[in-house]
Amino acid sequence: MRDELYESASQLFFLMGHPVRLRILDLLRRGEACVCHLQAALGLPQPYVSQQLRLLREAGLISSRREGLFIYYRLANQQVEELLGKVLGPVEETQPVPGCACPKCQRSFSADFLKEAVR
């Protein structure tokens, strides 16, 4: 039905039409990430980031999985990935975020860098 299509498309544009949610989706394009990583990368409070993640997850744009203490989020919608590619261009390379305590960033930092960060 056309009406349902309009409805789901307008929901998609609503979710993608928010600067913070757009940045979250762009970060997740580079691979899965936990809340603490997104929080560090965005420089925003965790409850706020979690709230945006919940909206995106409930709408099926992203999905999550638990690993130990961390919950990792990833893109779960092909259409979103294609739209992001059209609007934002190619995926940027993932960079570890200074000060981020997530396992992925910790693994990327050299021992020297860590010493600096702890100081």
Q: Which residues bind Zn ion (CB under 5 A)?
A: 37, 100, 102, 105
Q: How far apart are CA 85 and CA 104, in angstroms?
A: 24
Distance CA 96, CA 110 (A): 11
CA quadruple 110, 113, 118, 119: dihedral sign? positive
